Amino acid sequence: MNITVLGAGAWGTALAISLAAKNQVLLWGRNQIAMESAQIERENQHYLPGFRLPDSLKATADFHAALRHALDSNDGEGLLIIASSVSGLRPILKQCAAYPLRNVVWLCKGFEENTRLLPHQVVRQELGEQVLAGALSGPSFAQEVAQGLPCALTIASHSPELCRLVVTAAHNPSLRVYSSDDVIGVEVGGAVKNILAIATGVADGLGLGLNARAALMTRGLAEISRLCTALGGRLETLMGLTGVGDLILTCTGNLSRNRKVGLALAEGKSLETIIQELGHVAEGVRCAQAVKALAFELNIDMPITEAVAGVLFENVASRDMIERLLSRNAKIESN
């Protein structure tokens, strides 16, 4: 199958490497010099150094060629995967709108900052209803996927046809792919867990212990659940890979960018410094403000999200954030 991955960051590159095991994959990136280097040196030296690009994986900065590759599949079932950040999703979709696309998948997790829309809503606005579209999500660190270590993901789409296509294309001995029709549940779980990873990073950075981490994750899952059901998602989805699974990995794994943001905040570093040092997008940063505003609009109680947004954008000290959460009045746990 012909597959184009738009976005040559760490995750886009790692997934492209995995998909190239049994597909003809073209990886597109904006930086022509970087893509020419990746094609010649067989390595994405900037975003995923140390991992060889398979021979069946090609790299290019030619956007038209990248789109044509997905459209010209011999079996008629080409696949376009957008591996941008949430903020970069709409600009890429606007470029894609001129092409007769059929099968489109995105990897980003979050809410669009200004509109507070989920990715599937942005896709529908820009590409309409004619394309088969879905979110590929789940607990996954790019380095481990590129290394070929075991990983499980979920493709969420209202199209059974697209789900079957993605499972066929991506499923291999080290990557297991499940399917779901709960696009909202999958996207909300993937978005809000990044905010919670910042919170657990702060708590761990302050040395508050494993009990505090477990409490933040558990109460954070309650926040995800409230938002998920309010938006029309299903609670059972949050018990799976894109809910509890992704939450556990992102809050506890040291490869997590969002967890690293929290750890650095606990050290007293400014957000600007943290982002510069990180060198990658941490989706939880942009997502925090959008989710806080959405929770207010929907009258949903999300105190951890609100506290994280306070630290990121309102100069609230990390330790004050934790104290505010701990000083809240006791309540029934199921609420």
pLDDT of residue 329: 65
How far apart are the two ends of the chain, measured CA to CA in Å?
A: 47
Q: What is the average per-residue pLDDT within 56-64?
A: 97
Q: Is the pLDDT of residue 261 over 70?
A: yes
pLDDT of residue 282: 83
Residue-range domains of the chain with CATH: 2-181 (3.40.50.720), 192-326 (1.10.1040.10)
pLDDT of residue 203: 95
pLDDT of residue 321: 86
Q: Is the pLDDT of residue 334 over 70?
A: no
Q: What is the average per-residue pLDDT within 258-278?
A: 94
Percent above pLDDT 90 for the chain? 90
Q: What is the average per-residue pLDDT within 281-288?
A: 89
Which range, 61-75, 163-177, 321-335, has the best average confidence (pLDDT)?
Answer: 163-177
How many residues in the chain? 335
Q: Exactly one of 109, 193, 260, 292 is catalytic; which is it?
A: 193
Exposed / middle / buried, residue 21 (Cβ in 10 Å: 0-12, 13-18, 19+): middle
3-state helix, strand, coil in the chain (%, to 5): 55, 15, 30
Q: Is the pLDDT of residue 328 over 80?
A: no
Q: What is the pTM of this model?
A: 0.95
Which of these ranges, 51-60, 71-80, 192-201, 219-228, has the smallest mean pLDDT? 71-80
Confidence band of 281 (pLDDT split at 50, 70, 90)? confident
**Catalytic (active site) residue 58:** no
Measured at the CA of 83, the angle between CA 78 and CA 89, to 5 degrees, comes to 105
Confidence band of 332 (pLDDT split at 50, 70, 90)? low
What would the DSSP string read from start to end of 97-165?
TTS---EEEE---S--TTT---HHHHHHHHH-SSSEEEEEESS--HHHHHHT--EEEEEE-S-HHHHHH
Which of these ranges, 75-79, 102-106, 166-170, 218-222, has the smallest mean pLDDT? 75-79
Q: What is the average per-residue pLDDT within 282-304?
A: 94
pLDDT of residue 327: 74
Model confidence pLDDT, tens digit, residues 171-182: 999 999 999 999
Q: Is the pLDDT of residue 330 over 70?
A: no
pLDDT of residue 75: 65
Spatial contact of 309 and 287, defined as CB atoms under 8 Å apart: no
Confidence band of 256 (pLDDT split at 50, 70, 90)? very high
Q: Is the pLDDT of residue 96 over 80?
A: yes
Model confidence pLDDT, tens digit, residues 98-150: 999 999 999 999 999 999 999 999 999 999 998 999 999 999 999 999 999 99
Tell me the C-alpha distance between 28 and 136, whole Å: 18
Q: Is the pLDDT of residue 70 over 90?
A: yes
